[in-house]
Amino acid sequence: MWAVMNTVHFPLQGHSYTYAGFYVGFGLFVTAYLLFSAYLAWHLGGLARKNPQAIGALGWMFFALQAVSVVLSVQYFFLQPAVLSGLVAVCVGLAAVLAKQQR
């Protein structure tokens, strides 16, 4: 399948692209996004511990993002990413509840 993805070329804005290139690029983009999300969660956890009122609705927005991640994982991926996304969503949701209680 990978060989087929590399053989299908299509022009876009004066360049030639392959489906394999889009696949790799999208995977790297998602990886960068997830690494940043992990850093943001770590940073927000420390911030919430020191200054819970500074978090505000940001914790709940991060929880909503993780909930969407669960839905997308169930729909487009297999069981393991869906379970991991669900665990992360539960942890972020509990953190948002604790931050709200401390305010």
Structure token pair of residue 7: 């053989």
β-partners of residue 9 are 18
The pLDDT tens digits for 45-100 are 888 888 878 877 888 898 999 999 899 989 988 888 889 889 988 988 888 888 88
Report whether 40 contacts 62 (CB < 8 A). Answer: yes
pTM over 0.75: no
Specify the residue for token string 């969503």: 89
